[in-house]
């Protein structure tokens, strides 16, 4: 049974349709900045498929080391995300064994996910906000890959983290560090990445979803006329920070998030 699974996965990983560009791209940014809604919108394009968060480039430990593999063996959230993708623990274990690097694992997972979705000739992409910490590795291992950086007013990011429906962080230092570190990394990477990076604000994306999505698809080399916009439901930013944060907290967040607060027009 294991040998048959290994043979099937090897065939999936090595399959290489060449009729269209299948270079993966990566959505990155601070948590609670719109990476999920952007992914869900792009999933409405018939060629584009994205699994749940993979975390392949998030961890600093070397690929194949016990510390790198531990989250995939013990973290219930990561295991649940793989279950949502339709990837079984045995399949993932075999993918790891077939891989010699993070790139091999990401490629194998992406192609297996395309098979699971019944779209083997599609184009997979990744949406893991914290993969931003490994953007240099991604850039090196996928030299043709592009990055979409979506960012959001840090006041709303911190407010969302304070409320904690998805990630609960009632600590202003931790919450602002999420935003500051992601903005610092992207500011530096843009010097190297240049045309490989497209930045878009959450506010612009949610207020003009079709125009923004069309621009993203053009950046990716995909046809916007193939999008199923009738399935897209997006609501403009509501600035809930005004209901969550005190005036003192707002001033402190602005102070801590300078200079990127002003640099990105907030």
Tokens describing residue 224: 């916007």
Torsion angle of the four alpha carbons 219, 220, 224, 227, in this order, in degrees rounded to the nearest 10? -140
CB-based contact 58:68 (threshold 8 Å):
no
- pLDDT for res 156: 97
| Distance of alpha carbon 241 from alpha carbon 154, whole angstroms | 9
2-15+23-263 topology per CATH: Rossmann fold (3.40.50)
| Distance of alpha carbon 240 from alpha carbon 175, whole angstroms | 16
Paired strand residues for 199: 149
Q: What is the CA radius of gyration of the chain?
A: 19
Sheet holding 25-28, edge to edge: 126-127, 25-28, 146-151, 197-201
**Sign (positive or negative) of CA dihedral 104, 195, 44, 152:** positive
Indicate the domain borders of the chain: 2-15+23-263
pTM summary value: 0.91
Angle at 248 between CA 244 and CA 251, to 5 degrees: 100
Binned average pLDDT, 10 residues per bin, the chain of 266 residues = 57 57 93 96 96 94 94 92 96 96 97 96 96 96 97 97 85 96 96 93 95 96 88 87 97 96 92
- pLDDT for res 233: 79
DSSP for 8-23, written as a single string = HHHHHHH----SS---
CB-based contact 152:35 (threshold 8 Å):
no
Paired strand residues for 28: 149
């Amino acid at each position: 049974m294991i040998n048959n699974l290994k043979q099937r996965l090897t065939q999936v990983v090595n399959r290489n349709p060449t009729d269209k560009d299948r270079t993966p791209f990566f959505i990155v940014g601070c948590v609670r900045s719109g990476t999920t809604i952007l992914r869900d919108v792009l999933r409405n394009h018939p060629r584009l498929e994205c699994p749940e968060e993979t975390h392949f480039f998030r961890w600093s430990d070397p690929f194949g080391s016990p510390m790198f593999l531990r989250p995939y063996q013990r973290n219930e959230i990561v295991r649940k995300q793989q279950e949502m993708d339709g990837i079984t623990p045995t399949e993932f274990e075999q993918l790891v064994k077939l891989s010699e690097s993070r790139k091999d694992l990401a490629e194998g997972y992406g192609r297996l996910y395309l098979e699971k979705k019944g779209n083997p000739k599609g184009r997979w992409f990744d949406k893991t906000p914290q993969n931003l910490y490994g953007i240099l590795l991604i850039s090196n291992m996928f030299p043709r890959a592009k990055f979409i950086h979506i960012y959001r007013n840090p006041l709303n990011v911190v407010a969302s983290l304070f409320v904690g429906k998805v990630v609960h962080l009632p600590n202003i230092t931790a919450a602002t560090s999420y935003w500051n570190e992601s903005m610092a990394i992207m500011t530096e990477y843009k010097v190297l990445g240049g045309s490989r990076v497209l930045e878009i604000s959450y506010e612009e994306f949610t207020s003009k979803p079709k125009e923004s999505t069309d621009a993203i698809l053009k950046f990716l080399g995909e046809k916007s006329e193939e999008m199923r916009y009738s399935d897209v439901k997006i609501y403009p930013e509501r600035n809930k920070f005004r209901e969550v944060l005190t005036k003192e907290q707002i001033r402190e967040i602005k102070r801590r998030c300078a200079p990127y607060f002003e640099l990105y027009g907030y």
